[in-house]
Chain A
Amino acid sequence: MGLSTRHSSRFTPVDFIEENAELLARVQQALSDLAPDGADLLKAFHRIQSELGYVPKAAIPYLASRFKTTPADIYGAISFYSEVHTEPPPRILVEWCSGPACLLKGSLRIRRVLEAVFGCVMGETTSDNGIGLRLVQCDGTCHIAPQIRVDHDYIGPMSAPQAVQLARELKARNLV
């Protein structure tokens, strides 16, 4: 009986979670010096995410035991925050800013280009998990609107033709 069954009571999403010893070890390592005494769950998410790039569902039972709560509550929190990701990041991450300054400067056109060239809609990754298209909120770097970010590098102001060229380059890079 591993950690994953400790809280398998009536709240059980646990049965649906695959155990993964290696992932769990890395999660435990990331949280080794964290002593949860309130106001620490988000910190735990951030630490796991900076170590693994995402918060694997396999970590939910462990987090529940560390935070003395139910897996359901942990899952509830994870699913509440848009910047906590439960899937590994794609090889190339393309973030599209949804903010108003970008919108007024034509960001919807950029979005249409990205979706058309990558062949996936916002929030999804290409079928090979190579390129992921993520919607992000405005962070106030509106002087370069409309912008996108490739692996966290800011690019903007961006025109539609530039977006086509960049998207094609990224697609080619992903295939290499």
Chain B
Amino acid sequence: MPAYEDLQRAAQEVWAAIEEPQRPLVRVAIGSCSLAVGAAETLEALKKALAEQRLAADIMIVGCPGLCFAEPLLDIHVPGLPRIVYGNVSAEDVPELVNDVFHGDGVCKRLAIGAIPKQGESIIRYIQTAAAGIPDIHSHEWMSIQETRLMASCGVIDPVDLEHYVARGGYEGLAKTVTMTDEQVIQQISDSALTGRGGAAFPTGRKWDFLRGAPGPVKYMVCNADEGDPGSFVNRNLMEGDPHGIIEGMAIGGYATGASYGYIYIREEYPLAAERVEAAIKRARERGLLGENIFGSGFSFDLEVVRGAGSYVCGEETGLIASIEDIRGMPKIRPPFPAQAGVFGKPTNVNNVESYANAPLIMRRGPRWWASVGSESQKGTKMFSLSGQLRRVGVLEVPMGTPMRDLIQTAGGGVPPGRSLKTVQPGGPLSGIIPAADVIVPGGVGILLEPDPFRERGMFMGSGGLVVMDDSNCILELCKYFEWFAETESCGRCTTCFAGTRRLVEILNRISEGEGRESDLQLIELLGETMRNANCVHGQAAPTSVNSMLRFFREELMEHIQNKRCPAQACAGLIRYEVRRLSDRLEQAGNICPTGAIVREPDSTYYIDQKLCIKCDACREIAPESIEVVDITQPESVVEPAAVSE
């Protein structure tokens, strides 16, 4: 049973060699996002090049620092230089990188996206070195708005390595925790004003106190890592990049509440996250940081990972509990609340990944420090994932209350050139839609990222996903998707939910096919009202997006209903592909057509057989000057002859 000081001393020895490497140290980001773009191949190519050229260097696997848009990403720390971050490094780029770094001046300028000087050190210090001219990564638009606390070690440490985590202050919070009483620990959490990061924003200290007061001896801590909201991937990033923080947070919660066992429920879609959390648990157990008599305090706590199998409602806490209990993961009616009867009928606390990961920071640095960032009503930081129509996609961490605009316009780089922002969809299919006018407010900062402004609009901020839509997208198509999702993922227990979502899907489908009726608007509103009576939040919140559409995009919806027209020309039932101009690319377009819908006439003119056309757009992408999308209501146009080319 090591004392914390012994653990820290051993960790510092390991870490010193990493902070001040004697030979080049290469950190390669390996996460779900980087593996999807060939990071494994980059790593392999790097290992091969180093071995073949007998170069003295070390390679370390780290998590994604959130710059998914720049994956495959790696950074190289050459002694005497700052760490240099290289982005979009494919296996083919490796020879150039190795050549520049090991046989040149230590820097590959073409691939460098920024430098990471040591903490408290200015990049100016390196003006006389090969790193001159490479900007501090923190001045990058993606980084400049961030306050990284939870993510501070993502991309810096080997995610499962216990020494790395300890060297940067890990498990100090737990060591302090076990010297206090349970009430004192809860007081610390309450003083910080930490609220649940899963979406409900319930005060964590108060929640823990419910469990503390529940009768024992058997109680459970449960971590909801079933991040099922499509477009949200902040929990994945944290589990893959710094899993020990979650484990430590759950142990702190266990001590404060009298729970001695925990479950981390990770969704099926996150195999790497599950693997890393399990590996981290194993390391923690080996060092006595999980198990019996932690830090000699008499406190015992252990954990296991439960992997989901593809069910969105298992992210609802009672559904998640049911899923752990070896039965269908169907939500139950509350009360009883989990603190009264949770897993196996025992008192249980369910928190989100990010909520738990904040606990070690509060215990280590104190509630006052922790609450030093944030807004009036919400303290601390919050992680967000950006996706959709943006120049940069990834994960970032900002103080609570940061304007959404800063994430979309600054970090994300805005929508593609020539497009305008239409909406931002926060926190998953049940959360609603924020129109662009609320995000970009002339002379103002627009909507702030904290729960209250969303609640005021009858929506939810959710757990951190922000999906961005521009004017090329159809609002109805997005809402159809959300309702389809809500219907597919309905557990089926209550008719209000499963039949309500089905009706919504039917109505939206017919509108998108040009069969909409004006009375459909009232029908949608009626369904929205009725579904508030569903048994769980899944059914209750399912119409939120459709309600936002009625509120902010009524005109666009009416255009579909009254004029049978989709302004974004996205709804397949309301558009037609036509040959408008002859060109020599039409033959190729005809070849790409998967259904043979492009017909060549004996006189070498072309037309599209509308009965065969599936509106996949492949032909138009091949021959954009010849093929056009037109509204279904438009009369058939005359084909123009080919433009004469020089």
Contact = CB atoms under 8 A, between A and B. Distances in A.
A40 interface: yes
A103 B592 contact: no
A160 to B, nearest CB: 4
A116 B230 contact: no
A167 interface: yes
Interface string A154-166: 1010011101110
Given A100-B230, A140-B233, A164-B618, A42 B323 contact: yes
B223 to A, nearest CB: 13
A142 B388 contact: yes
B306 A43 contact: yes
A38 B309 contact: no
Interface stretch (A6-14, A19-27, A86-94, A143-151): A143-151
Sort chain A's interface into a size bin.
Answer: 35 or more
Contacts of A163: 616, 618
A174 interface: no
A143 B69 contact: yes
Given A103-B478, A142-B388, A143-B393, A109 B326 contact: no
Interface in A16-72: 36, 38-43, 45-46, 67, 69
B63 to A, nearest CB: 13
A172 interface: no
Given A36-B326, A109-B615, A101 B344 contact: no
B389 A104 contact: yes
A143 B231 CA distance: 11
Contacts of B473: 104
Given A81-B310, A138-B231, A139-B270, 6 more contacts: A81-B311, A99-B231, A106-B617, A138-B233, A142-B68, A164-B616
Contact of B387 (A101, A137, A160, A164): A101
B263 interface: yes
Interface in B595-609: 595
A39 B263 contact: yes
B253 interface: no
Interface stretch (B17-25, B30-38, B114-122): B30-38
A76 interface: yes
Interface string B443-455: 0000000000000
Interface string B351-389: 000000000000000000000000000000000010111
B311 A80 contact: yes
A103 B268 CA distance: 21
12 contacts: A77-B326, A80-B491, A116-B614, A142-B385, A142-B393, A144-B37, A145-B387, A147-B36, A154-B35, A159-B618, A160-B618, A167-B594
Contacts of A100: 230-231, 387-388, 425, 429, 467, 478, 481
B572 interface: yes
A5 interface: no
A170 interface: no
B182 interface: no
**Top 6 closest A-B pairs, CB basis?**
A140-B233, A83-B310, A142-B387, A81-B309, A138-B230, A41-B326
Contacts of B36: 141, 143-144, 147, 154, 156
A95 to B, nearest CB: 11
B248 interface: no
Contact of B33 (A43, A108, A117, A143): A143
B27 interface: no
A164 B429 CA distance: 30
A112 B615 contact: yes
A41 B468 CA distance: 38
Given A137-B228, A143-B33, A160 B467 contact: no
Nearest to A153: B36
A38 B269 contact: no
A103 B481 contact: yes
Nearest to A142: B387
A14 to B, nearest CB: 19
Given A103-B481, A136-B269, A139-B233, A113 B618 contact: yes
Most buried by A among B233, B425, B594: B594
Contact of A43 (B307, B310, B328, B429): B307
B236 interface: yes
Contacts of A112: 572, 614-616
A3 interface: no
A121 interface: no
A139 B230 CA distance: 7
A142 B233 contact: yes
B231 A160 contact: no
A120 interface: no
A39 B325 contact: yes
B58 interface: no
A45 B309 contact: yes
A137 B594 contact: no
B312 to A, nearest CB: 8
Given A42-B308, A142-B233, A104 B268 contact: no
B71 A143 contact: yes
Contacts of B268: 81, 83
A127 interface: no
Contact of A164 (B35, B233, B470, B594): B594
A99 B230 contact: yes
B388 A159 contact: no
Contacts of A106: 617
Contact of A137 (B230, B263, B622): B230
A104 B621 contact: no
Contact of B477 (A103, A145, A164): A103
B232 interface: yes
A80 B470 CA distance: 35
A41 B309 CA distance: 10
A161 B588 CA distance: 11
B324 interface: yes
A141 B429 CA distance: 17
B327 interface: yes
Interface in B319-339: 323-330
A73 interface: yes
Contacts of A84: 309-310
A39 B304 contact: yes
Contacts of A116: 594-595, 614, 616
B572 A108 contact: yes
A68 B470 CA distance: 53
B250 interface: no
B394 interface: yes
A143 B230 contact: no
Contacts of A136: 269
B505 interface: no
A100 B593 CA distance: 26
Given A100-B230, A101-B387, A164-B592, A137 B310 contact: yes
A161 B592 CA distance: 6
